[in-house]
């Protein structure tokens, strides 16, 4: 499931950890010891690797772009200026302009909103669905577990993107449907992980201890199972956002999500493809940002996962 | 020249000669010395026991002898010789040649030490292939011979099995077989019997004894003095990386000179009467009993001669005399599970017992005898196939879960693995707050300052009653020691003010001296609160020390039951006798 998006974008975790150089590398493990806690801020910053800081900064920047794009650019993303068409990157237009003279930088900034929104919303939809399915399978009687498992296996038989395409063919293209489609396509993977997590937690000593203390199944689910699943899930979701961004861009690229005049990275890629031999910047910058966003989300997700394990 | 030769000759006679061994680990800029000036000498046919608790540096010592101290370890010694090898000067290739051929290593967990994907015979044959020039047929002949030597029945069948298919005892024998296949002059056994049942442990010890009589030098590493006293000629007591006392076994055990050795010997519960303190200091912050003087010189080991019998408090005696009310009663309990081949296996078979209020019923047996299933039945975690359990005279096992749940606070549990019984996200405060507020947590007492303060007081009180400082409340159990974890588990079990505690192997994962403290604590709590214990253990010594009544379990049945003193003094059943004979005790 993560093969298509995760693997090529992923900086190798080992390389990522070693990069900080001798100074940073020595500081990290030193501070990780329980005794070596200084002030709160230093504790948090001291734990961060430089790749994590870069990833967090990129996501923060994208978040600003998504929430308040006018802070970063004063130009209108849809305003055309035919005279300036195909201007290469220059001080006036950092990323150049497209065939209608629209500023690519502005469009990339505005595109962050729909890309992030689709990424987050699709992951959210996938997770909600997965929590329901996974909990049913993990907590329910054997029959329900069997049924859910077979359903997941059927869904697994289709590649995720194919599933998304199927959904869009049935319900028609558009931003909303492509978001739901990506969410649906990611759900089976999450559901399986949630199911096995719940199964292992259910068999653990602290659930038995809670039962002996007289806790009801509802209390146990709320106070033990859900929080313990959530810790791992949060990291997984961050990883998933990166993947969802790529998929959403892919659907837009195919003309099934956002449609060309809209400032969306996938749609921009698609529109720029015609001119790829004469104006590389039309496709390069939106593409670079898809990669950047997905990579930062993946880096952060990985480090969250690692922290969960270390804890 | 002749003089030097003579010296060399006499030194060659020792299979292990270590002088002033130091091992330090570097972490960052700091370096920690974990082994500090250790000296050991073993001659052929001798057994030296290195005794100490976890973290004392005994395993690191053994590893250094094999050249396996690991990266980041700085090993230095005035002398570190195995047979004729000077370990410190050997390269990796020579070390590999030495291991196996001159030194055999037996580790605690044979399941981990043997490759699960290879047959036992192959495992042993590999050692032969690497170190000898035997032909394949000679090798397989030798494999069978070695397996037969260590007492594996039907060696030609067993050699073709994988380690997972063997029982614990057979597996450990196979591991020993692979260690002695090349007839090394030195065998290092690191906690070789710790994970094994009493009777199996006995067999392994007998095997080591035989190897010793055949001339193998043995370095036996253990935390258990009783095990060691059985075969060791020399005992070296290690703590904090130093050997604090070393001498002939009888002398060290009979006339211990060092305080630490005395504490270790005192902590062994076998043969110590009920209500006797095992640890030198009171385990709670409030001194509750006249503490025995720990430094009154050598202590005799016979239980009746121990000067340190702090007499049972009067309250306890009173309870014991008057307490004839039944806390928990089982009648004809049976429980079977479906095996992997769909056959039903009777795990608990017609088990009946009576646990009187304020007293301890010890349930003793080996692994697979159905002890833990009995505990789960008592806790109402599984329903019996037949038979009933009553709690204080009221129905318990036949109750529906909805009706049983409110009553659950009356019967608590302590497990072998306390860490696994805590939610990994919670610190000690949250664990106890949850137990005190019936699962509502700190928010459950309402936002009122008074409620919070009361909860904080209760938590501090609970921690105090199990002898923990309230400063530990902010720690996660992961960052506590084994003994502290078990104390937190006891505190949690006490929170709902139960009448009964089911203790399933509560101390078997702990070091002897920590075990002594926890047992003392349980004893004290029983006296103060009139608790009834269903105390489950495979360790006869612990059960004998803790129980008023004992039930011996074998194959799902209780084969013998009666007052603790009677059962241990005059075992009626054949199996009990066997267990008692196998139990290691100080001698």
- Report the CATH number that the domain containing residue A110 is assigned in CATH: 1.10.3720.10
At residue A102, the 3 state secondary structure works out as: coil
Give chain A's contact residues with B (Cβ, < 8 Å): 26, 29-30, 34, 204-206, 208-216, 219, 223-224, 227-228, 231, 311
The whole-angstrom separation of Cα B78 and Cα B62 is 16
CA atoms within 13 A on the CB side of A193: 20
B250–chain A Cβ distance below 8 A for any pair: no
Q: Looking at the partner chain, which of A205, A214, A228 has a beta carbon nearest the beta carbon of B408?
A: A214
Contact B67, B87 (CB under 8 A): yes
Instruction: Say what the pLDDT of residue B469 is.
Output: 87
pLDDT band at B454 (very low <50, low <70, confident <90, very high): confident
Q: Do A212 and B441 touch (CB under 8 A)?
A: no
Q: Does the pLDDT at position B539 exceed 90?
A: no
Range with the poorest average pLDDT among A13-22, A254-263, B121-130, B147-156: A13-22
In a domain, A288, yes or no: yes
- Residues paired with residue B354 on neighbouring β-strands, in sequence order: B329
Give B535's pLDDT tier (boundaries 50, 70, 90).
very high
B75 has which bridge partners? B23
d(CA B580, CA B544): 11
**Helix, strand, or coil (residue B432):** helix
Would you tell me the crossing angle of helices B449-465 and B428-436 to the nearest 10 degrees? 110
Question: Rounded mean pLDDT of B460-471?
Answer: 88
Of A178-182, A251-255, B39-43, B520-524, where does mean pLDDT reach its minimum? A251-255
Range in A26-40, A183-197, B129-143, B318-332 with the lowest mean pLDDT: A26-40
Mutation site, B378, B421, B423, interface A, largest A CB count within 10 A: B423
Task: Look at residue A121 and tell me if it is in a domain.
Answer: yes
Q: Is residue A1 part of a domain?
A: no
Q: For position B413, what pLDDT does the model report?
A: 93
Cβ contact A223–B420 (<8 Å): no
Q: Do A206 and B420 touch (CB under 8 A)?
A: yes
- Domain architecture of chain B: domains with CATH: 2-260 (3.40.50.300), 276-421+497-587 (3.40.50.300)
Full residue range of the structural domain in which residue A29 is found: 6-310
CA distance A97 to chain B (A): 52
Maximum average pLDDT range among A62-66, B95-99, B430-434, B509-513:
B430-434
Does residue B384 contact residue B350 with C-beta atoms inside 8 Å?
Answer: no
Q: Which two tokens stand for residue A230?
A: 């959530």
The average pLDDT across A107-121 equals 84
The whole-number pLDDT of residue B491 equals 93
Give per-residue pLDDT as tens, B326-337. Answer: 899 999 999 988
Query: Are the Cβ atoms of B441 and A223 closer than 8 angstroms?
Result: yes
Strand order across the beta sheet in which B217-222 lies:
B103-106, B186-190, B217-222, B47-51, B234-239, B242-248
Distance from CA of A135 to the nearest CA of B (A): 19
Distance from CA of A247 to the nearest CA of B (A): 34
In terms of Cβ atoms closer than 10 Å to its own Cβ (0-12, 13-18, 19+), residue B5 is exposed
Average pLDDT over residues B226-250: 89
What do you get for the CA distance between the two ends of chain A, in Å?
A: 27
Across A21-35, B1-15, B552-566, the highest mean pLDDT is recorded for B552-566
The mean pLDDT value for B552-575 works out to: 90
Count of domains for chain A: 1
State the sign of the Cα–Cα–Cα–Cα dihedral B198, B201, B207, B209: negative
Task: Report the pLDDT averaged over residues B277-282.
Answer: 68
Is the torsion defined by CA of A268, A271, A273, A279 positive or negative?
Answer: negative
Q: Which of A211, A213, A231 sits opposite B435 (nearest CB)?
A: A213
- Spatial separation of the C-alpha atoms in residues B258 and B375, rounded to whole Å: 40
In this prediction, residue A251 carries a pLDDT of: 83
CB-nearest to A216 from B405, B422, B479 is B405
Residues B247-261 pLDDT 10s: 998 898 888 889 888
Instruction: Give residues 478 to 517 of B whose Cβ lies within 8 Å of A.
Output: 479, 492, 496
For chain B, the farthest-separated pair of C-alpha atoms sits apart, in whole angstroms, at 89
Task: Encode B292-333 in three state secondary structure.
Answer: CCCCCCCCCCCHHHCCCCCCCCHHHHHHHHHCCCEEEEEEEE
The answer to which of A105-114, A152-161, B307-316 has the lowest mean pLDDT is: B307-316
A205 contacts on B by Cβ (under 8 Å): 415, 417, 420-422
pTM: 0.73
Specify if A79 maps to a domain.
yes
State mean pLDDT over B260-266. Answer: 86
Instruction: Give the confidence band of B317 by pLDDT, cuts at 50, 70, 90.
Output: very low
What does the alpha-carbon distance between residue B525 and residue A126 come to, in Å, rounded to a whole number?
51
**Whole-number Å distance between alpha carbons of A262 and A255:** 12
Q: Give me the residues paired with residue A203 across strands.
A: none
Q: What was the pLDDT predicted at B558?
A: 92
pLDDT at B145 (0 to 100):
87
pLDDT in tens, B17-75: 999 999 888 776 778 888 888 999 998 989 999 988 877 888 888 888 888 877 778 88
> Is it the case that residue B523 has pLDDT exceeding 80?
yes
């Amino acid at each position: 499931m993560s093969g298509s998006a995760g693997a090529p974008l992923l900086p190798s975790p080992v390389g990522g950890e070693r990069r900080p150089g001798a100074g940073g590398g020595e500081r990290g493990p030193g501070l990780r010891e329980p005794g070596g806690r200084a002030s709160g801020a230093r504790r948090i910053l001291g734990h961060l690797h430089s790749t994590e800081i870069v990833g967090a900064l990129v996501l923060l920047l994208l978040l600003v772009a998504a929430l308040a794009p006018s802070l970063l650019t004063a130009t209108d993303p849809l305003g055309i200026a035919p005279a300036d068409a195909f201007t290469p990157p220059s001080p006036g237009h950092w990323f150049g302009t497209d065939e209608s003279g629209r500023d690519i930088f502005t469009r990339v900034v505005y595109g962050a909103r729909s890309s992030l929104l689709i990424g987050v919303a699709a992951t959210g939809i996938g997770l909600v669905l997965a929590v329901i399915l996974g909990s049913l399978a993990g907590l329910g009687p054997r029959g329900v577990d069997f049924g859910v498992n077979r359903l997941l296996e059927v869904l697994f038989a289709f590649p995720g993107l194919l599933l998304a395409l199927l959904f869009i063919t049935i319900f028609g293209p558009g931003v909303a449907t492509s978001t739901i489609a990506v969410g649906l396509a990611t759900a089976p993977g999450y559901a399986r992980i949630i199911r096995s997590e719940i199964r292992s937690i259910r068999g653990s000593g602290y659930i038995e201890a809670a039962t002996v203390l007289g806790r009801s199944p509802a209390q146990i689910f709320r106070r033990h199972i859900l929080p313990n699943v959530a810790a791992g899930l949060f990291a997984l979701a961050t990883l998933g956002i990166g993947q969802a961004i790529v998929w959403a861009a892919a659907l837009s690229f195919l003309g099934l999500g956002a449609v060309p005049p809209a400032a969306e990275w996938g749609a921009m890629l698609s529109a720029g493809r015609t001119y790829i031999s004469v104006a590389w910047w039309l496709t390069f910058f939106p593409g670079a940002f898809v990669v950047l966003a997905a990579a930062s989300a993946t880096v952060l997700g990985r480090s969250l996962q690692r922290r969960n394990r270390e804890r | 020249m002749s003089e030097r030769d003579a010296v060399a000759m006499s030194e060659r006679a020792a299979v292990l000669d270590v002088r002033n061994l130091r091992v330090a680990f570097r972490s960052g800029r700091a370096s920690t010395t974990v082994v500090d000036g250790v000296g050991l000498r073993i001659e052929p046919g001798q057994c030296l026991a290195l005794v100490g608790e976890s973290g004392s540096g005994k395993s690191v010592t053994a590893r250094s002898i094999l050249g396996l101290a690991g990266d980041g370890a700085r090993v230095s010694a005035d002398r570190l010789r195995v047979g004729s090898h000077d370990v410190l000067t050997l390269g990796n290739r020579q070390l590999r040649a030495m291991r196996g051929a001159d030194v055999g290593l037996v580790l605690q967990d044979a399941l981990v030490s043997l490759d699960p994907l290879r047959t036992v015979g192959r495992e042993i044959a590999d050692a032969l292939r690497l170190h000898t020039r035997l032909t394949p047929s000679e090798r397989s002949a030798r494999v069978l011979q070695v397996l037969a030597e260590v007492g594996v029945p039907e060696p030609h069948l067993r050699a073709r099995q994988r380690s997972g298919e063997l029982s614990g005892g057979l597996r450990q024998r196979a591991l020993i077989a692979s260690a002695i296949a090349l007839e090394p002059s030195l065998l290092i056994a690191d906690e070789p019997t710790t994970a094994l049942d009493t009777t199996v442990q006995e067999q392994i010890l007998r095997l080591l004894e035989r190897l010793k009589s055949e001339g193998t030098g043995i370095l036996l590493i253990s935390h258990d003095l009783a095990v060691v006293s059985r075969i060791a000629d020399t005992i070296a007591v290690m703590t904090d990386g130093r050997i604090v006392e070393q001498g002939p076994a009888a002398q060290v055990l009979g006339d211990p000179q060092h305080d630490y050795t005395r504490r270790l010997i005192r902590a062994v519960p076998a043969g110590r009467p009920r209500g006797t303190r095992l640890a030198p200091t009171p385990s709670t912050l409030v001194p509750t009993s006249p503490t025995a003087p720990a430094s009154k010189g050598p202590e005799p080991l016979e239980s009746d001669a121990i000067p340190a019998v702090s007499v049972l408090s009067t309250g306890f005696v009173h309870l014991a005399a008057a307490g004839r009310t039944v806390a928990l009663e089982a009648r004809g309990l049976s429980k079977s599970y479906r095996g992997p081949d769909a056959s039903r296996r009777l795990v608990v078979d017609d088990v009946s017992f009576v646990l009187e209020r304020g007293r301890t019923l010890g349930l003793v047996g080996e692994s697979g005898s159905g002890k833990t299933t009995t505990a789960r039945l008592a806790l109402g975690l599984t329903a019996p196939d037949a038979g009933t359990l009553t709690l204080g005279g009221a129905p318990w096992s036949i109750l529906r879960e909805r009706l049983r749940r409110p009553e659950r606070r009356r019967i608590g549990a302590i497990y072998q693995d306390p860490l696994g019984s805590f939610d990994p996200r919670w610190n000690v405060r949250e664990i106890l707050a949850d137990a005190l507020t019936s699962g509502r947590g700190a928010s459950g007492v309402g936002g009122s300052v008074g409620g919070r303060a009361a909860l904080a007081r209760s938590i501090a009180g609970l921690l105090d009653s199990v002898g923990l400082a309230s400063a530990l409340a902010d720690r996660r159990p992961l960052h506590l020691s084994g003994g502290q974890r078990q104390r937190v588990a006891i505190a949690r079990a006490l929170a709902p003010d139960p009448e009964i505690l089911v203790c399933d192997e509560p101390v078997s994962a702990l070091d002897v001296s920590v075990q002594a403290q926890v047992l003392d604590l349980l004893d004290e709590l029983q006296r103060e609160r009139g608790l009834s214990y269903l105390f489950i253990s495979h360790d006869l010594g612990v059960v004998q020390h803790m129980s008023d009544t004992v039930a011996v379990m074998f194959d799902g049945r209780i084969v013998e039951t009666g007052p603790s003193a009677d059962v241990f003094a005059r075992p009626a059943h054949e199996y009990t006798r066997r267990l008692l004979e196998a139990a290691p005790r100080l001698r």
